[in-house]
Amino acid sequence: MAELTIAAIRSAADAIAPHVLRTPVLEAVRPDAVLLCKAESLQPIGAFKLRGAFHAMQQLPADCPGVVAHSSGNHAQAVARAARLLGLSAVVVMPSDAPARKRAAAEADGAEVVEVSPDSEERERMADRLARERGLVPIPPYDDLRVATGQGTAALELLDDVGPIDRFYAPVSGGGLMAGCAVAVHALAPECEIIGVEPSGGDRLAASLASGSRELLPTPTTLADGLRVRRVGAVTWPILQAHVARSEPVTDDELLDAMAFAARNLRLVLEPSGAASLAVALREGRGRCGVLLSGGNAEPAVLARALARPVRWQDGAGLPS
Ligand SMILES: *Cc1c(COP(=O)(O)O)cnc(C)c1O
């Protein structure tokens, strides 16, 4: 399979350009930092996952019988949307506790939804079985070089728009987003420090970077439903190990405060996973920081909870110096 390189990310960017939004970069000013926020929450379907899904699915042969994906949310929506626009049929395997509106969104795009128990291994087994029995092509959520290359186009756009940065923050679950973005960032800003963000109590990349091998942790209890895997991917791990300097934990309270900051100061709705990188950048950012805001599919009740909290962070933009 093709390697994950900046050249591959550039050609992916050209290939997916007709289907994805070139999202804006919004600035937030802090006493010691400028946060250059890449608003992937504004992507159709509300998350960067459209990039990887399109890049993987555009390469399928015309006689492909269809695709299958398993996901509790954003990847299912991305595969369903890409399948509709590419004229493919899609089956998505979703857990019975997936948010009703994410399931409805996949169905509205014409995908067949197969429901399984919330156990994440059950989901994988069902997707494998459907692939075998119906000849469907699996589209993995993160552990695939085509997918990770597609996700890297978000960081390519960011650096093309803002020039060199000192730090780059992105959330890490399986690591497809970070693997692609890290390669793009280091190609265009070799000195940049690349920092992952994970739920506190479930920081498996931090544990893996410390031990030097891919660690398995218990499923974290976190509001960030997009960041609940137990370990980073086998394919993404060596890329993460080569590029990511460190990975920082984030608590639910910090996620809520970052969601509130984004709503008040950037006029952006973020889901908890989508606010994770911002939470850590607000806490410790220095210099010019690229901040990848990964998704905006917030449950209204969670957004309401975030906005009801006392204001924790103020944007320095526009304040007298
Ligand atoms: C999928 C997802 C992530 C994590 O992406 P990985 O490639 O699995 O690391 C982060 N934020 C949001 C909003 C997501 O949907």
Q: Is pLDDT above 70 for 82?
A: yes
Separation CA 80–CA 279 (nearest Å): 30
Pocket mutation for ligand 1, best pick of 169, 172, 173, 195 (most atoms within 8 Å of C-beta): 173
pTM for the whole structure: 0.96
* CATH architecture of the region 6-47+145-312: 3-Layer(aba) Sandwich (3.40)
Q: Is 14 exposed, middle or buried (0-12, 13-18, 19+ CB in 10 A)?
A: exposed
* Whether the Cβ atoms of residue 226 and residue 177 lie closer than 8 Å to each other: no
Ligand 1 geometric centre to CA of 142 (Å): 8
Q: What percent of the chain shows pLDDT beyond 90?
A: 87
Cβ 295 under 6 angstroms from ligand 1: yes
Average pLDDT, whole number, for the chain? 94
Buried b or exposed e, range 263-274, using 16+ CB within 10 angstroms: bebbebbbbbbb
Position 180 pLDDT exceeds 60: yes
Q: What is the pLDDT of residue 316?
A: 74
pLDDT at 58 over 80: yes
With the most atoms of ligand 1 within 8 angstroms of its CB, the residue from 204, 214, 227, 269 to mutate is: 227
- Choosing from 41, 71, 273, 294, the catalytic residue is 294
- Of 40-54, 71-85, 109-123, least confident by mean pLDDT is 109-123
pLDDT category at 319 given cuts 50, 70, 90 is low
pLDDT at 193 over 70: yes
Q: How high is the pLDDT of residue 119?
A: 74
Distance (Å, whole) CA 309 – CA 7: 44
* Ligand 1 centroid, distance to 175 Cα (angstroms): 8
What region does 267 belong to: left with phi over 0, alpha with psi -120 to 50, or beta? left
CB 199 less than 6 A from any atom of ligand 1: no
* Cα–Cα distance measured from residue 136 to residue 89, given in angstroms and rounded to the nearest whole number: 9
Rounded CA-CA distance 177/230 in Å is 16
> 6-47+145-312 and 50-138: same fold?
yes
pLDDT of residue 317: 61
User: Atom of ligand 1 at shortest distance to CA of 296?
Assistant: 13
Give yes or no: 294 in active site.
Answer: yes
CATH topology of domain 50-138: Rossmann fold (3.40.50)
Judge whether residue 133 has pLDDT over 80: yes
Percent above pLDDT 70 for the chain: 98
How does pLDDT run across 257-267, given as a tens digit for each residue?
999 999 999 99
Average pLDDT over residues 279-285: 97
Domain boundaries, the chain: 6-47+145-312, 50-138
pLDDT band at residue 168 using 50, 70 and 90 as cut-offs: very high
SS3 content of the chain, % helix, strand, coil (to 5): 45, 15, 35
